[in-house]
Amino acid sequence: MKDVASLFGSMVFNDAVMQARLPKDIYKAVKKTEAEGTRLELDAANAVATAMKDWAIERGATHFTHWFQPMTGITAEKHDSFISPMAGGRVIMEFSGKELVRGEPDASSFPSGGLRATFEARGYTVWDATSYAFIKDGTLCIPTAFCSYSGEALDKKTPLLRSMEAIDRQAMRILKLFGNTTAKRVITTVGPEQEYFLIDKEMYVKRPDLVYTGRTLFGARPPKGQELEDHYFGSLKPRVSAFMKELDEELWKLGVHAKTKHNEVAPAQHELAPIFSTTNIATDHNQLTMELMKVIANKHGMACLLHEKPFAGVNGSGKHNNWSIGTDTGVNLLEPGETPYENAQFLLFLVAVITAVDEYQDLLRVSAASAGNDHRLGANEAPPAIVSMFVGEELMGILEAIESGASYKGKGKHQMEIGVTVLPHFPKDTTDRNRTSPFAFTGNKFEFRMLGSAFSIAGPNIVLNTIVAEVLSRFADTLEKSKKFTDDLAELIKKSVGDHKRIVFNGNNYAAEWVTEAEKRGLSNLRTTVDALPEFVSKKSVDVFTKHRVFTKQELHSRYEIFLEAYCKTLHIEALTMVDLVKGKIIPASIDYQNELARLLKLKKDSGASFDTTLENHLLTAISKLSASILKKLEVLERAIKDSKDRSEIKALATFYRDKVFPAMSELREVVDELETLADKKRWPLPTYGDMLFSVI
Ligand code: ADP
Ligand code: MG
């Protein structure tokens, strides 16, 4: 391996490359586009395109693609080669400014939720100059936003960029009030921790449920699960280590700051965390990370599972969205400062987040909703479906003191009144942690823990940026009018704490009592995706997203449809896969085994000798009974699948899948899993949980 420093970013058309390869005036124009979102003149675009192409060809690229993030939650690309025919049957390699800044994929098959009828299938991809182009697998990838002919967002990047602008606008108003004249922009930053499973590829291909749905639909618990907690931070198995090494290298080449890797709690579960970057780049990089995990696992003879709950009975996988706000001058606004003024500013941003999370808890919940994540949220391993915040004891003490008007007497000599004395530095170490909280303050950032492992982080960050922008805008409205800034600021912080502290919960979020307590506090508990999604199109949601120009009403409604549709389709495919497996594998295996037992019984009887047949009788009886029960449950599931066809209204259909199809699936699974515990391991048609979870050695 080349040294990491020269490897890092070697496949990225980054700032250093641009500076070295672009004429000065063109470079300046690109920087302007990057910073201000202005359009690049065609001449300049042509110059950039040529430089990009030459650079890419030197690195072995033959194609280019507009890389975008449609509503499927994964990335899309359509490759065009650089070749252009010449007289005499030759070709030259060409790439124009027009091709760089705008593409027109025939994208009629991407979900649009009715925003774009297939007869006018035109969708445009537009270069996002704030995220660098890169080479992946011989193709120059240009990060782009994807929108319809009439300008509606058809992707996850467009609203994300809009939400970043919204919070920038509002946070800048606040900074101005504090006399900040140096910051030009406020940027949200994210570091997403990614969990995943690795299993042996041979096991994977023998499990149609994993192949079709990403999770196991059957499987009895193995004798050993995660109870010993001996996997967490354990030493890496050589195959896993080789995989992680190659993954790091490939990510580094693409400019992804892969930083931390370790084993997670469940057997076969691991985690990767990058160093944080701007939300937009973090989102692009997280998509690349998930993609490369799959590709590289495959090269190492393994399958990478990104599903939220690939195995019942062991932990599922989530994604922790570490989020903060900072200035372009490098100041983290969620970091307590050195001066009273800085601290007052910190407290204002802190209570803005608290207010936003409390007021828009439903939108945050929606942003973490999916069929896959329904298996985690509310189960005793992930945050519950109730959104609450952890701020730690010390900060809580300060907030309570502010509210009651008392002066704060913290540990040691810290005393504080807003704007007067210096705040203590809050501990960032792991002792003051609450790992059960969905939304935890960790010293200088918040960690939103409800996301599922397979998610694009765009959705949750769109919500987070927008709701905080909204609260900041209200704060700015009040304070801009103020004649007595310090007094009104103190009053605003105090009032916000009083109004919204119900969202703060520092206790154990997994405890059953919390559900009752949360209800008393009036917090919502949207248990499933179907409960949560309607909040996305509530008046409150439409108001906040349209006010900040993040989504239009139509865009919100189309997304609502797409999410519900995805939910229904996921359950539909799972149900069909179950039926297929039971008919094609489980029942034949059961018959095979019964046949064997019956033959043995008959042999013993026919022999004339008085052999004991207790075992055969017992097993045959039990298996016959279970098999009959399987048949019954299978019929119930098949009927439910059939009945789903009668429902065309999407919300009714989703409700039907949740209330009728899903329970039928669970019941069928239960009997099949019981049969597995009786069956002959040699004859069982699927690799077992034990086989899969301990398959990588
Ligand atoms: P912790 O010990 O709190 O988990 P780490 O330093 O391990 O902190 O960080 C966890 C994740 O949070 C990493 O991805 C890290 O880059 C990210 N992170 C740290 N600071 C910030 C920040 N200001 N904004 C966004 N993410 C951050
Ligand atoms: Mg973690």
Nearest atom in ligand 1 to the alpha carbon of residue 276 is 16
Element (H, E) at 302: strand 302-305
Name the 3-class secondary structure at 10.
coil
Shortest-distance ligand to the CA of residue 265: 2
Residue 192 Cα: closest atom of ligand 1: 14
Q: What is the pLDDT of residue 415?
A: 45
Question: Could you give the count of Cα atoms lying within 13 Å of 559 in the half-sphere of its Cβ?
Answer: 31
Q: Which residues line ligand 1 (CB under 6 A)?
A: 189-191, 193, 273-276, 322-324, 332, 442, 444-445
Tell me which ligand sits closest to the C-alpha of residue 449.
2
- C-alpha of residue 548 to centroid of ligand 1, in Å: 27
Q: What is the pLDDT of residue 421?
A: 43
What is the predicted pLDDT for the residue at 430? 41
Ligand 1 atom closest to the Cα of residue 191 is 14
pLDDT in tens, 410-450: 554 444 444 444 455 554 544 457 788 999 999 899 999 99
Assigned CATH class of 4-155: alpha beta
Q: Which ligand is nearest to the CA of 289?
A: 1
Question: How much distance in Å is there from the Cα of 486 to the middle of ligand 1?
Answer: 32
Nearest ligand 1 atom to the CA of 334 is 23
Query: Per-residue DSSP letters for 515-577?
Result: HHHHHHTT--B--SHHHHGGGGGSHHHHHHHHHTTS--HHHHHHHHHHHHHHHHHHHHHHHHH
* pTM exceeds cut of 0.85: yes
CA distances 394 to 294, 340, 425, 514, 566, Å, are 42, 18, 10, 21, 43
What is the per-residue pLDDT for 412?
Answer: 44
For residue 281, give the ligand nearest its CA.
Answer: 1
pLDDT of residue 648 exceeding 80, the answer is: yes
Region(s) of the chain under CATH 3.30.590.10:
164-551
Among 389, 189, 165, smallest CA distance to 283 is for 189
What pLDDT shows up at residue 363? 98
Provide the token pair at 546: 């349209």
Query: Residue 307 C-alpha to ligand 1 middle, in angstroms?
Result: 23
Q: What is the rounded CA–CA span in Å between residue 158 and residue 144?
A: 9
What are the DSSP calls for 136-184, one per residue? ETTEEEEEEEEEETTS-B-BSHHHHHHHHHHHHHHHHHHHHHTT--S--
The sign of the CA dihedral 325, 327, 333, 334 is positive
**In angstroms, what is the span from residue 320 Cα to ligand 2's centroid?**
6
Ligand 1 midpoint to CA 268 (Å): 24
What pLDDT digit, counting tens, does each position of 619-633 carry?
999 999 999 999 999
How much of the chain, in percent, has pLDDT values that exceed 70?
Answer: 94
Q: How far are the Cα atoms of 287, 452, 453 from residue 306, in angstroms, in the given order?
A: 12, 9, 6
- Compute the distance between CA of residue 582 and CA of residue 638 in angstroms, rounded to an integer: 11
Residue of the CA atom closest to atom 23 of ligand 1:
324
When pLDDT is averaged across residues 174-197 and rounded to a whole number, the result is 96
Average pLDDT, the chain: 91
Distance CA 52, CA 20 (A): 12
- Asked whether the predicted pLDDT for residue 73 surpasses 60, the reply is yes
Q: Whose CA is nearest to atom 11 of ligand 1?
A: 191
Nearest atom, ligand 1, residue 326 CA = 23
Ligand 1 centroid – CA 191 distance (Å): 6
Which ligand does the CA of 331 lie closest to?
A: 1
Select from 322, 432, 448 the residue to mutate for testing ligand 1; criterion: most ligand atoms less than 8 Å from CB: 322
Q: Which atom of ligand 1 is nearest to the CA of 274?
A: 14
Q: For residue 63, what are the β-bridge partners?
A: 81, 139
pLDDT at residue 407, as a whole number: 61
Is residue 423 a contact partner of residue 416, using CB atoms and an 8 Å limit?
yes
**Ligand nearest to the Cα of 274, by number:** 1
Helix extents (H) in 425-511: 458-480, 485-500
Distance CA 326, CA 186 (A): 6
* CA-nearest residue, atom 17 of ligand 1: 191
Which amino acid would we find at residue 368? Answer: A
- CA 257 to ligand 1: nearest atom: 16
Distance in Å, CA 365 to ligand 2 centroid:
19
Ligand whose nearest atom lies closest to the CA of 318: 2
How far from 273 is each of 193, 316, 645, CA to CA, in Å?
A: 4, 17, 43
- The residue whose CA is least distant from atom 1 of ligand 1 is 442
Pairing, β 63-67 against β 139-148: parallel
Task: Give the atom of ligand 1 at the shortest distance from the alpha carbon of 324.
Answer: 24
Q: How many CB atoms lie within 10 A of CB 490?
A: 19
278 C-alpha to center of ligand 2: Å? 20
Q: How far is the CA of 326 from the centre of ligand 2 (A)?
A: 23
Best substitution site from 286, 353, 426, 445 to test ligand 1's pocket, by max atoms within 8 Å of Cβ?
445
275 CA distance to ligand 1 middle (Å): 7
- When pLDDT is cut at 50, 70 and 90, the band that residue 577 belongs to is very high
What are the pLDDT digits (tens) for 304-361? 999 999 999 999 999 999 999 999 999 999 988 776 677 889 999 999 999 999 999 9
Average confidence (pLDDT) over 214-242: 85
Specify the range with the lowest mean pLDDT, choosing from 22-26, 406-410, 636-640, 688-692: 406-410
pLDDT-derived band at 40, boundaries 50, 70, 90: confident
Mean pLDDT calculated for residue range 95-118: 77
320 alpha carbon – ligand 1 mean position (Å)? 10
* Alpha-carbon gap, residue 227 to 629, rounded angstroms: 31
Quick one: which atom of ligand 1 is closest to the CA of 433? Answer: 3
Cα angle at 257 between 256 and 258, to 5 degrees? 95
- Select 566-693's CATH number: 1.20.1080.10, 3.40.50.2000, 1.10.10.10, 1.20.120.1560: 1.20.120.1560
How many angstroms is it from 455 CA to the middle of ligand 1?
19
Q: What is the pLDDT of residue 528?
A: 95
Looking at residues 19-27, what average pLDDT do you find? 96
> With helix as H, strand as E and coil as C, how does 66-124 read?
EEECECCCCCECCEEECEEECHHHCEEECCCHHHHHEECCECCCCCCCCCCCHHHCEEE
- For 261, 304, 346, 513, 553, the CA distances from 268, given in Å and listed in that order, are 13, 10, 41, 32, 43
467 Cβ neighbours under 8 A, 6+ residues apart: 356, 357, 359, 360, 363, 364, 544
Domain 164-551 has CATH 3.30.590.10: yes
